[in-house]
Structure 1
Amino acid sequence: MAVHDDCKLRFQDLKSKRSYRFILFKIEQQQVVVDKLGEPTESYDDFMASFPADECRYAVYDFDFTTEENCQKSKIYFVAWSPDTSRVRMKMVYASSKDRFKRELDGIQVELQATDPSEMSLDIVKTRAL
């Protein structure tokens, strides 16, 4: 499975320049490509609403939070979205390509796998950040 250069470039922009709040990726014609870019002002709800109900996606999300010591921090999350309603073949392709794709994105700090929105709720993201 090939990874389009744009995926890595956009991820670097998210990581170093904070140009995006999130990026959704999809597999198209045997390669991973950028599906959607979330503006820095977009919320976690906007991110959640970006996932299709019946298709798999990969995503990265730049999550800002405050620690108990009152320090501002951020972590980059990798989300593997594989809804129960997606086709079996699609789930298999995404599952088998995930680790290779993730290795291309240097700087992922937390990984979430979700089959429905409750598995990547904001509460879960906050818990995993600390």
Structure 2
Amino acid sequence: MASGIQVHTDVTTIYNEMKVVKNNDDSNQRLRLVTFTIQGDVINVDLKVTQEEVTKKGQDAYQIFKEQLKDEECFYFLYDCHYKDHEGIGKEVLIFGSWIPDTCAVKKKMLYASSKCSIKKIMHGIKHHMELSDRTDILDHKSFAGQVGKGLQDIEGTCVCTKMKA
């Protein structure tokens, strides 16, 4: 912890809740997106979005994620991404990352960059890590899919295919 920033215990609780999905859990109450911000000298949970909230907004979780990207605000995120692979099989993956925009104040960018290792230690077992600094990194579902993996057919139900199967 080079920055001296601590991670609140709620962050660990949220991560464990998202990591282990139980069959008897209400799918509408399942967390799809969580953002974390530095408040004082602690990384805290800032925003929690459930599947029910995603459905009510009439958007997908990826669109709600994009809405959180502000030019002057940094945050870490944990996103439960639903996609179909090249064989059309539905899958889910947790993606951990940071939004540290180029347009943000230098001091804030340095604080978030140097504190990332503190929260990343808690997110052990995460397959995908992203460091986003510009909206062009994830303009649309297709560009985001390129960061998640190759050969994906869709992200959150939106086609990202470049060619049709014969």
Q: TM-score, normalised by structure 1?
A: 0.90
Identity percentage of aligned residues: 27
Contact 1:80–1:113 under 8 Å retained in 2:
yes
Tell me the residue number matched to 2:160.
Answer: none
Tell me the residue number matched to 2:11.
Answer: 7
Task: Give, in whole Å, the separation in 2 of the partners of 1:120 and 1:30.
Answer: 29
Letter in 2 for 1:22: L
Task: Give, in whole Å, the separation in 1 of the partners of 2:66 and 2:98.
Answer: 13
DSSP-derived class of the 1:53 partner? coil
- Runs of 4+ displaced beyond 6 Å: none
Q: TM-score, normalised by structure 2?
A: 0.72
Letter in 2 for 1:129: G
Structure of greater Rg: 2
Q: Given the superposition, is the C-alpha separation of residues 79 and 109 from structure 1 closer, same or farther in structure 2, using an over 3 Å criterion?
A: same
Could you tell which deviates more after superposition, 6-15 or 21-30? 6-15
Task: Give, in whole Å, the separation in 2 of the partners of 1:120 and 1:5.
Answer: 30
Question: Structure 1 residue 52: deviation in Å?
Answer: 2.7
Letter in 1 for 2:45: V
For the aligned residues, what is the CA RMSD? 1.6
Structure 2: tracts of 5 or more residues without a match? 22-26, 55-59, 151-166
- What's the CA shift string for 1:11-60, capped at 9, x where partnerless? 22222237211100001111100010111242211111023321111001
Letter in 2 for 1:54: E
Report the count of equivalent residues.
Answer: 130
Q: Does 1:35 align with 2:46?
A: yes
Tell me the residue number matched to 2:145.
Answer: 126
Structure 1: tracts of 5 or more residues without a match? none
